[in-house]
Amino acid sequence: MRESIRNRCPLSACSFMRNRRPLSACSFMRAAPAFGARARALALVLGILAPAPDFALADEPLRDAPVVWYEDDRNHVAQPRERDPNLLWDGINDTVILPRERYTNPVRLIRRIGTAFGGDHVPAASNINALDEAPNSSWFTNRIGHFEMTADEAARGPGGGSGPDMSAPWTIVSAKSEGVTPGFNIRDAKGDVYVIKFDPPGFLSMSTAAGVISNRIFHACGYNTPEDAIVHFRREDLVLAEGVKLKEHGVKRVMTTADVDKLLASLELAPDGTYRAISSKFLSGVPVGCFNYLGTRGDDPNDRVRHEHRRELRGLKIIAAWINHFDTKQHNSLDMYVTEGDRSYVKHHLIDFASTLGTGAHGPAIRYGYEYTFDLPPIALRLAALGFREDTWRKQTRPEGLAEVGYFTTKYFDPREFKPLQPNSAFANCTGRDAYWAAKIISAFTDEQLLAIAREGRYYDERATEYVARTLAERRDKIARAFFDEVPPIDFFTLQNGTLSFHDLGVERGIYPADKTKYRVRFEVVNADRRGPGGGAWREIAETEVAYDDPAIREAFGRGAEREYPFLAIEVQVSRGKSWSPSTTAYLARAGRRIVALDR
């Protein structure tokens, strides 16, 4: 396991606030690399055949202006209607109808052929800024990897996550007695309402710990999540409100204290004689249903980017793979109509993370994450193999002696092969750049932070805490290596104190050895369309920085006047002891002396 390292913060908080302005359509447009003519030509051919996305895909002219970090999607809107899609139809649609449409779409098939020449099977994500990042929005907030985050902050999660107030008994305001595990909603002494859910029978702490740990991870990554925490209580800590209805065998009736006793009697007690549960605080605002991973919400004028083209939803596939969050159907999301000052808008959340870390509603889950619920190719392979081929997921074993941990391992983990319970439209659109974006976030978690987060699961056996933290770290590094090999992790270019510098996240985060890494760079002055007079030569450098008055930069400046070529293109490639990687190119405004764009 790598040693804990300090999170680097190339983007300061003040730079975010200073650049706070609406995200215009033109700021989403991306350009092909300045030195990739063949890839640009292929992209043009495939772009002609591709359907028009939410924003134009033509090269956006470079501008000497601050990079946009805030999406303009929190304007006042009328309250939308509540969405309540049919669970059965949703499964059929995602599993059968939409995949068939994707596989038979001729444009998508042609674009897949183009991947052999450096293209991608779908257009780039629509909601990215000039630095290929997802800006802050009602969906996502940049956190770990962009800002300093201590282990305590990562473990604290949204709102502190301390759970309901225990100074007075909780009042049961609704309950569920049917299903695998019972549950109820309570109101605490402060008037806050929480969902209280329990572990499946025979697996005390397994799913409740997984739910809290995964909640902290998603929040640190940047997603909106509820306040989840592990709680312990006794029977005397509960009182029943008057008129609470209980649904039993399809019929609703008034709940009694005997029902409460019966509900609790089915639960396994914690070692100290208390009941253990996960508490999830009701989100602020008015619930208006879940969001779909496909299309937009027609009654929300702020929802202008198709969800399957959102970077944070595409990249969610890789983060879900990391923690084996296989239950990513739309019903595990929740839109809230929130009010801030004189405006109200829809805020989008991920909820319910108990089916993660190798466990599910019924306990340890061995197959989930490796196959869809109904997955024809693996079924056909099993039939054809006549029992002579063993599925990868069948080879997994749970950690010996750790009863609180499910099938959460690293040995057979391949992030590229992750499959949720049912196909996901946004996941199907995940490109190499989307996967790199997610891997960059995941690799920012240190061992110290992961251990602190794992402790929030409140396992009874400290060895379970250490095992989960260690496995998260191993899977983190496996993800980083997989996608950093495809997209070089050269990032966060800056010009400070007369020095042009960039970060090699692969070396900084312990993925590649520094002594086997070398870089080469070349400079070119370009116009707003990324075209220049040519002539820049490659030059190897030992460090990830170059003086701004370096002879190579002065030579580049000498090839064109600033008024004609107002930008400096800094093209970097990296070698890990073999061949040179594809280029990462940053563009610096000569007048403003700031990085204004980045191409991969």
Any idea what the CATH number is for the domain that residue 529 is in?
A: 2.60.40.10
The pLDDT value given to residue 112: 67
Q: Which of these ranges, 256-265, 310-319, 345-354, has the smallest mean pLDDT?
A: 256-265
**57 domain-assigned:** no
Beta-strand pair 275-281/193-197: antiparallel
The pLDDT value given to residue 23: 37
Confirm whether pTM is higher than 0.85: yes
**498 domain-assigned:** yes
Read off φ and ψ for residue 548, nearest 5 degrees. -65, -25
pLDDT digits (tens, 9 = 90+) for 26-57: 333 333 334 444 444 444 444 444 433 333 33
Q: Are 455 and 388 in the same domain?
A: yes
The pLDDT value given to residue 387: 77
> Whole domain around residue 531: which residue ranges?
490-599
**58 domain-assigned:** no
CA distance 241 to 502: 60
9 or 115, higher pLDDT: 115
**28 domain-assigned:** no
**351 domain-assigned:** yes
The pLDDT value given to residue 118: 64
**In the block, which residue shows the tokens 């869809």?**
372
Q: Are 290 and 161 in the same domain?
A: yes
Helices (H), 395-540: 425-428, 432-442, 447-455, 462-484, 505-508
CA distance 216 to 417: 24
Q: Are 424 and 367 in the same domain?
A: yes
Q: Which of these ranges, 17-26, 82-91, 239-248, 379-388, has the smallest mean pLDDT?
A: 17-26
Q: Are 112 and 159 in the same domain?
A: yes
Q: Are 580 and 452 in the same domain?
A: no
**197 domain-assigned:** yes
Q: Are 184 and 219 in the same domain?
A: yes
CA distance 542 to 302: 47
Q: Are 559 and 420 in the same domain?
A: no
CA distance 326 to 345: 29
The pLDDT value given to residue 464: 98
Read off φ and ψ for residue 3, nearest 5 degrees. -75, 155
Q: In 10 A of CB 49, how many CB atoms?
A: 12
pLDDT digits (tens, 9 = 90+) for 565-589: 999 999 999 999 989 999 999 999 9
Q: Are 306 and 215 in the same domain?
A: yes
Cα Rg, the chain, nearest whole Å: 26
Q: Are 527 and 454 in the same domain?
A: no
Last residue of a domain, one of 448, 483, 518: 483
**282 domain-assigned:** yes
Q: Are 389 and 494 in the same domain?
A: no
The pLDDT value given to residue 26: 36
Q: Are 506 and 472 in the same domain?
A: no
User: Which of 228, 221, 216, 329 is CA-nearest to residue 283?
Assistant: 228
Q: Are 522 and 471 in the same domain?
A: no
Last residue of a domain, one of 428, 454, 483: 483
pLDDT digits (tens, 9 = 90+) for 449-498: 999 999 999 999 999 999 999 999 999 999 999 999 999 999 999 999 99
Supply 254's token pair. 């008034």
Contact status, residue 174 vs residue 245, Cβ threshold 8 Å: yes
Q: Tell me, rounded to whole angstroms, the distance of Cα 68 from its chain centroid.
A: 20
Last residue of a domain, one of 463, 483, 503: 483
Q: Which of these ranges, 25-29, 349-353, 374-378, 521-525, has the smallest mean pLDDT?
A: 25-29
**47 domain-assigned:** no
Q: How many domains does the chain have?
A: 2
